[in-house]
């Protein structure tokens, strides 16, 4: 295992297990140490919504429904979703995303048992409350929102981008 940082091993092992089981790893990317930087780098200079959610969070499902409908109306809307559940919930996570029309969005799932480290990488001030969203503007401005996103406010933000 020379050359692979130990912090990456849980995510790599999960991807390998998905490959062996026949599940497509592209459906849900493992969110591990470094994934937050990867997302920031991939979307640098572009406006996007980063939304954190969980299967056991009813307001999250309301937000997913709203994001799915909005994305249906505006297919160019960039949405990055991160589930704070575990890779063990793969089937339920994909079913939920499909139900809300978000299975084609960029989807991640926490794949490290040390969730505090993952939360810290996303936002040092985030305490784990859900839903939690970030509106990231083209210029890199970040607006953090705890609680369910409001459709009207989101549409105003999109119009300003």
Average pLDDT, the chain: 89
Question: Can you give the pLDDT at residue 7?
Answer: 55
Q: How confident is the model at residue 119 (pLDDT cuts 50, 70, 90)?
A: very high
Inside any domain, residue 35: yes
Inside any domain, residue 78: yes
Inside any domain, residue 66: yes
Q: Is 147 left (phi over 0), alpha (psi -120 to 50) or beta?
A: left
Question: Can you give the pLDDT at residue 121?
Answer: 96
Calculate the alpha carbon distances from 117 to 32, 99, 159 in Å. 9, 30, 34
Inside any domain, residue 64: yes
Q: How confident is the model at residue 8 (pLDDT cuts 50, 70, 90)?
A: low
Q: How many alpha carbons lie under 13 Å from residue 108 in its C-beta half-sphere? A: 23
Q: Is the model's pLDDT at 19 over the cut of 80?
A: no
Question: Can you give the pLDDT at residue 10?
Answer: 53
Rounded CA-CA distance 82/69 in Å is 18
Mean pLDDT of 137-153: 96
Beta bridge partners of 134: 50, 144
Inside any domain, residue 48: yes
Give the range of the structural domain holding residue 20, as residue numbers without chain letter.
6-159
CB contact at 8 A, 50 and 31: no
Q: Any residues with CB less than 8 A from the CB of 144 and at least 6 apart, and which? A: 123, 125, 126, 132, 133, 134
Inside any domain, residue 135: yes
What CATH number is associated with residue 108?
Answer: 3.40.30.10
Inside any domain, residue 118: yes
Reported as a single tens digit per residue, the pLDDT across 68-116 is: 999 999 999 999 999 999 999 999 999 999 999 999 999 999 999 999 9
Inside any domain, residue 1: no
Beta bridge partners of 105: none
Among candidate residues 92, 85, 83, the one with its CA nearest the CA of residue 113: 85
Structure tokens at 123: 């936002």
CB contact at 8 A, 149 and 63: yes
Q: Is the model's pLDDT at 147 over the cut of 70?
A: yes
Residues above pLDDT 70, as percent of the chain: 84
Count of the separate structural domains present in the chain = 1
């Amino acid at each position: 295992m020379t050359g692979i940082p130990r912090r990456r091993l849980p995510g790599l092992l999960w991807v390998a297990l998905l490959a062996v089981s026949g599940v497509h790893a592209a459906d849900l990317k493992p969110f591990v140490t470094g994934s937050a930087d990867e997302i920031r780098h991939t979307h640098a200079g572009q406006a996007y919504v980063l939304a954190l959610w969980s299967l056991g969070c009813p307001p999250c499902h309301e937000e997913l429904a709203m994001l799915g409908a909005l994305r249906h109306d505006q297919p160019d809307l960039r949405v990055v979703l991160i589930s704070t559940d575990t890779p063990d919930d793969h089937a339920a996570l994909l079913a939920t995303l499909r139900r809300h029309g978000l299975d084609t969005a960029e989807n991640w799932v926490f794949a490290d048992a040390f969730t505090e480290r993952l939360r810290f990488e996303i936002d040092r001030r985030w305490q784990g409350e859900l839903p939690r969203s970030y509106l990231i503007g083209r210029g890199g401005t970040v607006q953090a929102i705890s609680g369910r996103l409001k459709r009207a406010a989101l549409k105003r933000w999109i119009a300003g981008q």
